[in-house]
């Protein structure tokens, strides 16, 4: 129960005390006092007026201070904690008009949820409308479908479709955004496209295809991209665009952050210089370099000056991995950083390690997460060496056992930049598949990707809402669960049938 509900509950206690006071006075006050006729009439009118006044004031106070109690175990009638935090943080007025269908249970629940949110903060003015009963109101707002929310603030308007209070909370954050934040995705090196269909459609014709070392040489089709990440960032309220640095004199200054997701061909020297100059001027970047990608020499030298070296290997983790593939590293515990706070488990299908050295003065370097103590690395060939598919063996294994840094964040003054300028921010991660259409909706991958971007654009302290990306229903099992199901279905159940048959035969013989 929120602090507001506690205060309103105290108002209810006051109302109950007033009712009990009236009851007590009604029992104790004499009905016919021994007074003169005029005095007796005045006494009676006074008692009636006092009783009516106390009852009216108590009921008005109770009506203005509703309290919400949800006694269901699943908290079905309570908005999510994140939606409540967004509403509680409002510092300006927001108008929310929700159009619901009275025959739709989900729509009625969403109506109740926004009304509960409206009682949490007087700055959120909520109005619920049934378009079937008030069609003129729907026409005024231009709403032609059921279960839609129209949010208004400072002359801006945002429309949200759906019955999820988290989506409505995201709409509140969008309508309150006072500046345009542009996220620029780099293209030109066979990166994952951001304008594709939002599902997994890469070529599955090769036997044993995976996203680990063996699958990193597979030619990816255009459908295998990052459309879901683009949609997730747009839902938060960011403006997403594409840039091709090779065709530009410099990375545009309006890019609040640049993202390079799984490039496969090496940068040109001029592109490395443009990226370094952008960061030196206070830019921000997410560089997700997957297995086998070769970093251009000038960019590699710039990263080395920051204390970051991307190793040409693959991390294998027999302890913390997803499903049965030890190359799909899972991260149950993160390092302490604003990006990783309150994040549940995420996983990375084929990730390389990052070596951290001492950063230069003015630069803060921090790991985001590491592999487990049982992990080790194996040296692999680069993309250029493997793409001809000549069947040549991989480089001899050079395992390095122990925990390995898989992602790092750097911020501060770029080495060699003018002191006093805007500090840069950089996140370097050894995998890009985690943010692709195939894996973004699962576990905490979407939350991690969005949290990285929010930190890059310096919005890590603003209220946030977890994203819910619709995906087909899947049954996701760990290795132990799969083994238990196999033993039960394939071993114990057939043996039980054989045992029952043996018992029946024995008793009939």
CATH number, domain of 407, equals 3.40.50
**Tens digits of residue pLDDT in 82-138:** 888 899 889 899 999 999 988 899 889 899 899 989 888 889 999 999 998 888 998
Say if residue 186 is in the same domain as residue 171: no
pLDDT of residue 166: 87
Check which CATH number belongs to the domain holding 101 and give it: 3.40.30.10
pLDDT of residue 167: 87
Say if residue 93 is in the same domain as residue 189: no
- In whole angstroms, give the CA distance from residue 248 to residue 266: 17
pLDDT of residue 354: 95
Residue 419 has pLDDT above 90, yes or no: no
Residue 77 exposed, middle or buried by CB count within 10 Å (0-12, 13-18, 19+): middle
Say if residue 94 is in the same domain as residue 46: no
pLDDT-derived band at 329 (thresholds 50, 70, 90) equals very high
Please say which residue of 63, 92, 110 terminates a domain.
Answer: 63
Say if residue 91 is in the same domain as residue 32: no
pLDDT of residue 191: 92
Q: Give every CB contact of residue 184 below 8 A, 6+ residues apart in sequence.
A: 241, 242, 243, 251, 252, 255, 257, 258, 259
pLDDT of residue 203: 39
**Residue in the block written with tokens 């509703």:** 66
Classify residue 321 by its DSSP letter.
B
Burial 258-277 (b: 16+ CB within 10 A, else e): bbbbbbbebbeeebbbbbbe
Please say which residue of 419, 437, 456 terminates a domain.
Answer: 456
Q: Give every CB contact of residue 34 below 8 A, 6+ residues apart in sequence.
A: none
pLDDT of residue 430: 94
Say if residue 207 is in the same domain as residue 329: yes
Burial 317-335 (b: 16+ CB within 10 A, else e): beebbbeebbbbbbbeebb
pLDDT-derived band at 148 (thresholds 50, 70, 90) equals very high
pLDDT of residue 161: 87
pLDDT-derived band at 455 (thresholds 50, 70, 90) equals very high
pLDDT of residue 472: 57
- Of 397, 339, 342, whose CA–CA distance to 366 is shortest? 339
**Tens digits of residue pLDDT in 334-361:** 999 999 988 888 999 999 999 999 999 9
Please say which residue of 176, 198, 215 terminates a domain.
Answer: 176
pLDDT of residue 68: 65
Cα distance between the two ends of the chain: 68
pLDDT of residue 473: 58
pLDDT of residue 391: 41
Q: Which of 62-66, 131-135, 234-238, 437-441 has the lowest mean pLDDT?
A: 62-66
Biggest CA pair distance of the chain:
118
% of residues, the chain, pLDDT over 70: 83
Residue 411 has pLDDT above 90, yes or no: yes
Say if residue 305 is in the same domain as residue 450: yes
Query: Dihedral, CA atoms, 435, 440, 444, 447, nearest 10 degrees?
Result: 70
- In whole angstroms, give the CA distance from residue 333 to residue 384: 34
**Across the chain, what does the average pLDDT equal?**
84
pLDDT of residue 509: 75
**Tens digits of residue pLDDT in 179-237:** 889 999 999 999 999 887 655 544 343 344 455 555 555 544 445 689 999 988 988 88
Say if residue 134 is in the same domain as residue 235: no
**Tens digits of residue pLDDT in 372-386:** 999 999 988 776 665
- In whole angstroms, give the CA distance from residue 167 to residue 156: 17
- In whole angstroms, give the CA distance from residue 121 to residue 112: 15
Residue 276 has pLDDT above 90, yes or no: yes
- Of 143, 144, 176, whose CA–CA distance to 157 is shortest? 176
> What are the DSSP calls for 23-49, one per residue?
HHHHHHS-SS-S--HHHHHHHHHHHHH
Residue 505 has pLDDT above 80, yes or no: yes
pLDDT-derived band at 393 (thresholds 50, 70, 90) equals very low
Q: 184 near 251, Cβ under 8 Å?
A: yes
Q: 186 near 259, Cβ under 8 Å?
A: yes
Q: 307 near 409, Cβ under 8 Å?
A: no
User: What pTM, to 2 d.p., does this model score?
Assistant: 0.72
pLDDT of residue 351: 94
Whether residue 399 lies inside any domain: the answer is yes
Whether residue 473 lies inside any domain: the answer is no
Say if residue 205 is in the same domain as residue 331: yes
Whether residue 199 lies inside any domain: the answer is yes
DSSP reduced 3-state for 435: helix
Whether residue 465 lies inside any domain: the answer is no
pLDDT of residue 207: 40
Say if residue 133 is in the same domain as residue 58: no
Whether residue 336 lies inside any domain: the answer is yes
Phi, psi at residue 458, to the nearest 5°? 65, 45
Whether residue 87 lies inside any domain: the answer is yes
Say if residue 222 is in the same domain as residue 330: yes
pLDDT of residue 392: 40
- In whole angstroms, give the CA distance from residue 465 to residue 172: 11
pLDDT of residue 198: 56
Continuous H helices in 322-478: 383-386, 445-456
Whether residue 73 lies inside any domain: the answer is no
Domain of 345 in residue numbering reads as 182-456
What are the residues facing 129 on neighbouring strands? 99
Whether residue 126 lies inside any domain: the answer is yes
Q: Which of 14-18, 170-174, 484-488 has the lowest mean pLDDT?
A: 14-18
pLDDT of residue 484: 83
- Of 174, 179, 169, 144, whose CA–CA distance to 158 is shortest? 174
pLDDT of residue 128: 93
Structure tokens at 66: 């509703």
- Of 226, 291, 232, whose CA–CA distance to 261 is shortest? 226
pLDDT of residue 217: 52
Strands 182-186 and 376-379: unpaired
Say if residue 186 is in the same domain as residue 170: no
Count of domains observed in the chain? 4
pLDDT of residue 478: 58
User: Mean pLDDT throughout 33-43?
Assistant: 74
Say if residue 203 is in the same domain as residue 118: no
Classify residue 247 by its DSSP letter.
G
pLDDT of residue 129: 92
pLDDT of residue 221: 44
Q: Which of 20-24, 44-48, 73-77, 123-127 has the lowest mean pLDDT?
A: 73-77
Residue 48 has pLDDT above 90, yes or no: no
pLDDT of residue 475: 61
């Amino acid at each position: 129960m929120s602090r507001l509900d506690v205060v309103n509950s105290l108002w209810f206690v006051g109302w109950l005390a007033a009712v009990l006071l009236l009851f007590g006075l009604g029992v104790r006050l004499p009905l016919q006092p021994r007074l003169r006729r005029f005095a007796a009439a005045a006494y009676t009118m006074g008692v009636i007026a006092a009783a009516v006044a106390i009852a009216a004031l108590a009921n008005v106070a109770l009506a203005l201070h509703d309290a919400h109690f949800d006694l269901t175990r699943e908290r079905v009638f309570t908005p999510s904690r994140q939606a409540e935090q967004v509403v509680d943080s409002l510092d300006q007025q927001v108008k929310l008009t929700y159009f619901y269908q009275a025959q739709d249970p989900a729509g009625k629940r969403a109506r109740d949820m926004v009304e509960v949110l409206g009682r949490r903060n007087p700055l959120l003015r909520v109005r619920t409308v049934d378009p079937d009963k008030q069609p003129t109101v729907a026409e005024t707002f231009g709403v032609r479908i059921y279960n839609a929310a129209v949010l208004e603030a400072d002359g801006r308007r945002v429309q949200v479709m759906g019955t999820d209070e988290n989506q409505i909370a995201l709409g509140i954050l969008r309508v309150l955004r006072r500046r345009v934040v542009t996220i620029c995705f780099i293209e030109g090196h066979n990166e994952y496209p951001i304008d594709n269909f939002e599902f997994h459609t890469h070529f599955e014709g090769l036997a044993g295809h995976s996203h680990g070392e063996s699958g990193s040489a597979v030619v990816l089709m255009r459908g295998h991209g990052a459309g879901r990440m683009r949609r997730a960032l747009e839902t938060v309220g960011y403006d997403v665009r594409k840039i091709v640095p090779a065709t530009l004199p410099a990375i545009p200054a309006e890019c609040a952050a640049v993202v390079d997701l799984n490039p496969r061909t090496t940068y040109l020297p001029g592109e490395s210089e443009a990226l370094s100059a952008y960061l030196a001027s206070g830019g921000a970047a997410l560089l997700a370099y997957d297995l086998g990608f070769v970093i251009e020499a000038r960019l590699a030298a710039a990263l080395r000056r920051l204390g970051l070296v991307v190793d040409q290997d693959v991390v294998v983790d027999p302890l913390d991995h997803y499903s049965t593939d030890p190359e799909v590293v899972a991260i149950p515990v993160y390092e302490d950083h604003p990006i990783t706070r309150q994040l549940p488990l995420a996983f990375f299908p084929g990730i390389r390690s990052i070596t951290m050295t001492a950063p230069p003065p003015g630069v803060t370097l921090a790991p985001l997460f590491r592999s487990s103590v049982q992990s080790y690395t194996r040296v692999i060939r680069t993309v250029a060496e493997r793409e001809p598919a000549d069947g040549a063996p991989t480089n001899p294994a050079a395992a390095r056992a122990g925990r390995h840094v898989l992602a790092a964040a750097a911020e501060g003054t770029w080495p060699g930049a003018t002191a006093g300028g805007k500090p840069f921010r950089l996140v370097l991660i050894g995998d890009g598949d985690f943010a692709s259409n195939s894996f973004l909706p699962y576990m905490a991958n979407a939350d991690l990707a969005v949290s990285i971007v929010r930190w890059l654009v310096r919005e890590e302290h603003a209220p946030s809402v977890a994203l819910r990306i619709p995906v087909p229903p899947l049954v996701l099992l760990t290795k132990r669960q799969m083994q238990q199901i196999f033993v039960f279905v394939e071993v114990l159940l057939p043996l039980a049938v054989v045992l029952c048959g043996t018992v029946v035969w024995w008793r009939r013989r």
